[in-house]
Structure 1
Amino acid sequence: MTTITGIHHVAIQAKDYQATIKFYEALGLKRFHSWALPEFNIEYAALLNIPGTSSYVEIFDKNANVATQGRRPIAGETPVSGALLHLAFTVSNAAQAYEDALALGAASCIPPAALHLGEPVLSIRNALVYGLDGEVIEFIEPHALTVMA
């Protein structure tokens, strides 16, 4: 039986490949590997490592013919909704990560907040932004994930 041991990567098709790479590198990810694959019309692709983990964000150029969920957006159209809801990154300070992302060109989705969810109560601190390609990025503080009796 297969055992899943973690998330390897989340893939994004970038409207502006270089800008998207710079955005994620400015958020602390490190370029691990880059490639081209002409048989899939991939001129530029890269894996960016989340430091201290074996997890990655994979970035493809806008013309790459890669597997995708939903239908591809028509030119000028807002990305079409599908099953992938958001990328969630662990950060030490969700409010600071939110401000940093906005300064790098992201748009606000949900400002930093403390939430108290369910019974028993799970308290979290998080914030969400829209990345440069319409992807929803959540910043969540791991130490804020506490169950209250």
Structure 2
Amino acid sequence: MDLSQNIIGFHHVSIKATHFENKLGFYKKLGFEKVHNWSLPDFNLEKCAMLHNRSINYYIEVCDKNADIPTQGRKRKEDDEYIENALLHICFIVRDAEKARKQALEIGAKDLSKGVFELDLANSQKTIKVRNSLVYSPNGEVIEFLEKADFD
């Protein structure tokens, strides 16, 4: 069995939060609930929580800013601009990308796309029309709101 046959689905993305409680509150307003929390003193991890949105069956793991867990790049300092790293974005399927962007802005996100993108993603076999918007969460990760697109 090769690795592609061993993978059965996507579970979560992990985020190191500058302001842990604020991050939990932000994702709670996006429909996530805390389903488990823990600490791992050996990794300087004081607080970590697994959040789950049951309606889309999607998990996000949020760790405190001092956690010594595998990551790429240097730690983000308090007043730093957003720092590019290995996590490019988190994507959610939505009914209305513009409405989702505005709702995220109302709960503390910062605008990235300044509206909705309507794109044709083309290759030699197929063109997929997508409509999406992008925001920075209060912690700095990029969140994409994608209206249903037929990638299959």
TM band (smaller chain): 0.7 to 0.9
* Residue identity in the other structure for 1:68: T
Q: Does 1:117 align with 2:118?
A: no
- Give CA-to-partner distance per residue, 1:39-61, whole Å, 9 cap, x none: 21111110111224553110011
* Residue identity in the other structure for 1:124: V
Aligned-pair RMSD on alpha carbons?
Answer: 1.8
Aligned equivalents of 2:69, 2:44: Cα separation in 1: 8
CA apart distance, 1:128: 0.4
Pair 1:100–1:37, CA change in 2 (3 A): same
Aligned equivalents of 2:71, 2:116: Cα separation in 1: 30
Higher deviation after alignment, 15-24 or 72-81: 72-81
Aligned residue in 1 for 2:139: 133
* Residue identity in the other structure for 1:70: G
- Give CA-to-partner distance per residue, 1:77-107, whole Å, 9 cap, x none: 2343122211111122211111111001100
Q: What TM-score does the superposition give when structure 2 sets the normalisation length?
A: 0.86
Give structure 1 regions of 4+ aligned residues with deviation exceeding 6 angstroms: none
Pair 1:69–1:127, CA change in 2 (3 A): same
Q: Please point out which of 82, 85, 104 is paired with 1:82.
A: 85
CA apart distance, 1:19: 0.5
Aligned equivalents of 1:62, 1:82: Cα separation in 2: 15
Q: What TM-score does the superposition give when structure 1 sets the normalisation length?
A: 0.87
SS where residue 85 of structure 1 aligns? coil
Aligned residue in 1 for 2:95: 92
* Residue identity in the other structure for 1:50: N
Aligned residue in 1 for 2:30: 27
CA apart distance, 1:75: 4.5
Q: Does 1:10 align with 2:13?
A: yes
Aligned equivalents of 2:25, 2:78: Cα separation in 1: 23
What 5-or-longer segments of structure 2 have no aligned partner?
none
Contact 2:18–2:78 (8 Å) recurs in 1: no
What 5-or-longer segments of structure 1 have no aligned partner?
none
The alignment covers a number of residue pairs equal to 145
Aligned equivalents of 2:16, 2:127: Cα separation in 1: 37
SS where residue 21 of structure 1 aligns? helix
Aligned equivalents of 1:83, 1:127: Cα separation in 2: 20
